[in-house]
Amino acid sequence: MRPSKRDELVRKALTIFYRDGFHATGMDRLVAETGISKTTMFKHFRSKDELILAVLRLRDENFRNWFFRRLDEKLAAPKEKLAACFDVLKEWFSEPAFRGCMFIKASSEFQEPDHPAYVQSAEHKRLLLKAFTEIAVEAGARNPELLARQILVLKEGAIVAAHMGFDPDPAEAAKAAAVALLDAQLQPA
């Protein structure tokens, strides 16, 4: 089935916003690069902010589906899954189009906590935390909530380091720290 003009616009806008940022990308650039007229854009979205929110929702869905599918493909055991998160990140970091985390960028560009882009970005991180917590529970962690928060912080730090280029292998560095946390959390008390 052929994607709708709305879906096509959201997919193309995701690529442009990810590459160039939200504030730096005007409607004229979106028209020029997507080939979709302003009239059609405003038929589907009342404002650029509505388009940004649709882009963030699509990115959230795409990223989480890809990330957890890759984890499932790699390993079955929950402890190994938490460590393998960083192997999956390393795959992402090596992609030529890698430009960091769209949600970190969005929350930086839209800093008001009640702005829809900020709220959607925080929701993405909350959903990741929830998934990591579920895996930590399955792994038998003594404090699964704390372990999940620690894994998420390591993940976010690795993304920033990879984007900024100040660490030669941030995924591996974060994985080593995660393994130490896992060992500590999964040892008998």
CA 167 to chain centre: 20
* pLDDT score for 4: 86
Please write the tens of the pLDDT for every residue from 102-125.
999 999 999 999 999 999 999 999
35-41, long-range: CB < 8 A, 24+ apart:
36/5, 36/8, 36/9, 36/12, 40/5, 40/9, 41/9
Name the 3-class secondary structure at 106.
helix
Q: Rounded CA gap, 17 and 88, in Å?
A: 23
Q: Rounded CA gap, 145 and 138, in Å?
A: 12
Fold of 57-186: Tetracycline Repressor; domain 2 (1.10.357)
* pLDDT score for 74: 83
Cβ neighbours of 162 (radius 10 Å): 22
Q: What are the domain boundaries of the chain?
A: 57-186
* pLDDT score for 78: 86
Could you tell me the pTM of the whole model? 0.93
* pLDDT score for 77: 85
* pLDDT beneath 70: ranges in the chain: 1-3, 76, 188-189
What are the angstrom distances between the C-alpha of 133 and each of 20, 102, 120, 144?
Answer: 33, 22, 20, 6
Q: Rounded CA gap, 69 and 151, in Å?
A: 18
* pLDDT score for 189: 59
Helix residue ranges, H only, 94-169: 102-109, 116-139, 144-164
